[in-house]
Amino acid sequence: MINGISIHSIYVLDQDVALDFYVGKLGFVVTTDVDMGFMRWLTIATPGQPDREILLSLPGPPAISEDAAARVRELVTIGALGATILSTDDCRATYADLAAKGVEFTQEPEDQPYGIDCAFRDPFGNHIRMTQRTDEREVSDEDIARWAPDDSEGSDT
Hey, what amino acid is at 119?
A
The interface with another protein within residues 79-138 (CB under 8 A) comprises 79, 83, 85, 104, 106-107, 110, 112-114, 117, 119, 121, 123-125, 127, 129, 131
Q: Provide the CA 51 distance to its chain's centre, in angstroms.
A: 17
- Given 1, 35, 67, 157, the residue binding another protein (CB under 8 A): 157
Residues 115 and 62: their CA atoms lie apart, in Å, by 42
Q: Does 20 bind another protein (CB under 8 A)?
A: no
Any contact of residue 64 with another protein (CB under 8 A)? no
Measured from the CB of residue 73, what is the shortest distance to another protein in angstroms?
6
Enter the DSSP assignment of 68.
H
Please pick, from the candidates 4, 48, 62, 149, the single residue that binds another protein as defined by CB under 8 A.
Answer: 149
Nearest to 79 by CA among 22, 124, 117, 118: 124
